[in-house]
Amino acid sequence: MKIAVFGAGSIGCHLGGMLAEVADVTLVGRPAAMDALRSRGLLLTGGGRAERRVAPAEVRLATRAEAAAGADYVLVTVKSAATEQAARELAGHLAPGATVVSFQNGLRNPGLLREGLPGRTVLAGMVPYNVVQAAPGVFHQGTAGVLMVDGGERSAPLVVAMAQAGLDVEQRDDMADVQHAKLLMNLNNAINALSGLPLKDQLGQRSYRACLALCQREALGAFRAANLAPARLGPVPPGLMPLVLRLPDWLFRRLAAATLRVDDQARSSMWDDLKRGRPTEIDTLQGEVAVLAGRHGMRTPANSRLMELVLQAESRRSGEMRRWSGADLLAELTAATKSG
């Protein structure tokens, strides 16, 4: 099987590196990133697995879309803002029977790829865990979870290959609902980024979780107004999560032990973006909630204020970024909620 990963950043290198054991993998990414892999190879850590080293010779490394020519599957892992450009670049190079799979955050990317690649099979996928680049060529999976992808015959060979490569994966017939559930979870990305803390420490503090509860309440209200039902991906139904998040720390740890089963290195991808001076995906997370709510005449003051704070952080250098305590951030969002 030939697999191309278009947008080989942290998630893309993780998926491609794992699949290199069972498939012919091409990683397509930024020149600087590919140069680092060409000299160092990949080291994949975390996820409850033994470290896996991938020598440079075990993968093809490229920087242009034509490298995806001939691939059976093209896994798109670019940031959401680059999805339309990715479709334009890939359009003239895909093999006739190639299947494109969006393993991206946000709700709209599979649709954008279908619009930009008419007549092509485009599937939705979901990565539930976080992967950060700990060092050049070193990609660390800090949390657990099961990869999900649209069901059907077109995804079946890829799912088999992923399972053979040691990835936990399942086919789903409700990927739209899965994506809405993932959006609820990803609303924590901004909170984690502004806290400056590892996920385990941040989620262990009630004040930060209360910030997430405010964001999720607004999102759930927008979902109800739009007649959307997020899938249940964990032990707690999505509608009860804001209540669980506000529980005292000791009780939350007892009821949500799986949520806190993250290692000490795990942080959100948005924290990584801010640290590296890159634009974040805040507009496809908190921004998506605000847009959906606005269509139904609803306001989202907590999500909107968080979006403003992240955009402010984007404009500053990493050393100048404010690290928000849980109490201060909760007071900021609570004030926005009352005034909004």
- CATH number, position 289: 1.10.1040.10
Together in a domain, 82 and 36: yes
Together in a domain, 276 and 145: no
Q: Which residue has the tokens 């996928």?
A: 125
Which amino acid appears at position 173 of this protein?
D
Burial of 158 (0-12, 13-18, 19+ CB in 10 A): buried
C-alpha to C-alpha distance for 242 and 209, rounded to whole angstroms: 9
Tell me, what's the pLDDT at 105? 93
Within the chain, how many helices (H) and strands (E) appear?
15, 12
Together in a domain, 41 and 19: yes
Together in a domain, 163 and 187: no
C-alpha to C-alpha distance for 141 and 46, rounded to whole angstroms: 5
Together in a domain, 209 and 141: no
Together in a domain, 34 and 92: yes
Together in a domain, 314 and 263: yes
C-alpha to C-alpha distance for 88 and 252, rounded to whole angstroms: 46
Q: How confident is the model at residue 259 (pLDDT cuts 50, 70, 90)?
A: low
Residues spanned by the domain of 107 = 2-173
Query: Which of 173, 203, 229 is the last residue before a domain boundary?
Result: 173
pLDDT tens column, 113-162: 999 999 999 999 999 999 989 899 999 998 889 999 999 999 999 999 99
Together in a domain, 280 and 131: no
C-alpha to C-alpha distance for 193 and 285, rounded to whole angstroms: 13
Tell me, what's the pLDDT at 276? 87
pLDDT tens column, 177-197: 999 999 999 999 999 999 999
Together in a domain, 128 and 257: no
Query: Which of 133, 157, 173 is the last residue before a domain boundary?
Result: 173
Tell me, what's the pLDDT at 237? 94
CB contact set of 103 (below 8 Å; sequence gap of 6+): 11, 12, 15, 75, 76, 77, 125, 126, 127, 147
Tell me, what's the pLDDT at 263? 82
Together in a domain, 106 and 218: no
Q: Which residues is 127 bridged to in the sheet? A: none
CB contact set of 1 (below 8 Å; sequence gap of 6+): 22, 23, 24, 72, 73, 157, 158, 161
Query: Which of 121, 153, 173 is the last residue before a domain boundary?
Result: 173
Together in a domain, 141 and 236: no
pLDDT at 320 over 80: no
C-alpha to C-alpha distance for 77 and 186, rounded to whole angstroms: 16
Together in a domain, 190 and 329: yes
C-alpha to C-alpha distance for 105 and 156, rounded to whole angstroms: 22
Given its phi and psi angles, is residue 132 left (phi above 0), alpha (psi -120 to 50 degrees) or beta?
beta
The CATH number covering residue 168 comes to 3.40.50.720
Across all residues in the chain, what is the average pLDDT?
94
Tell me, what's the pLDDT at 258? 62
Q: How many domains does the chain have?
A: 2
Angle, CA 56 vertex, CA 53 and CA 58 arms, to 5°: 75
